[in-house]
Amino acid sequence: MSKSRSCGIRRGRRTVCPTRRNLNLVSCETNGDRDVANNILTLTESAVQRVRHIMELRDEEPPAIGVRIGVRNAGCSGMSYSMDYATEVSAMDEVVETGGVKVMVDPAAIMFLIGTELDFKEEKLSSGFVFNNPNVTSTCGCGESFTVN
């Protein structure tokens, strides 16, 4: 395990460290059709820089080739984002590569992420990844989970 360092990955209102096994985040490019993958997820320049930074912090084996983003059933609104290190590309993953950063999108999450922009925001008292998802119809009060149609 790596040294304790703040990474700035936001889970709702909490910040979690990317040196832990489960990151809980999101992003994209494709195994074949780049236009399709780019419509699933885009990354802002600040998100690309932060993903690059957390990849540099990882000191575990096997080495990560990127990050994997997905959604899972959780929270009071029904779904939450997940992000973890990716050590391989699964056969059905959509892979988004932007600015030298690879993001694998879980195939089960694609329909919930279409059109999403992954950003990284730094504010005075907090910093973290922000998912600007046009499919979200509501969120819970604490910001941990969301609902889509």
Please give the model's pTM, rounded to 2 decimal places: 0.70
In the chain the domains, ranked by start, together with CATH numbers, are: 17-126 (2.60.300.12)
pLDDT at position 93: 94
The tens digit of pLDDT for each residue in 71-112 reads: 988 777 688 889 999 999 999 999 999 999 999 999 999 999
> Higher pLDDT residue, 84 or 138?
84
Report CA-CA distances (Å) from 117 to 6, 7, 22, 64.
Answer: 23, 20, 21, 22
pLDDT tens for 6-42 read 334 333 433 333 333 334 343 333 334 445 455 899 9
* Alpha-carbon span 135 to 10, nearest angstrom: 20
Residue 68 in this model has a pLDDT that exceeds 70: yes
Please give the structure tokens belonging to residue 18. Answer: 């990317």
Residue 56 CB contacts under 8 Å (≥ 6 apart), including other chains: none
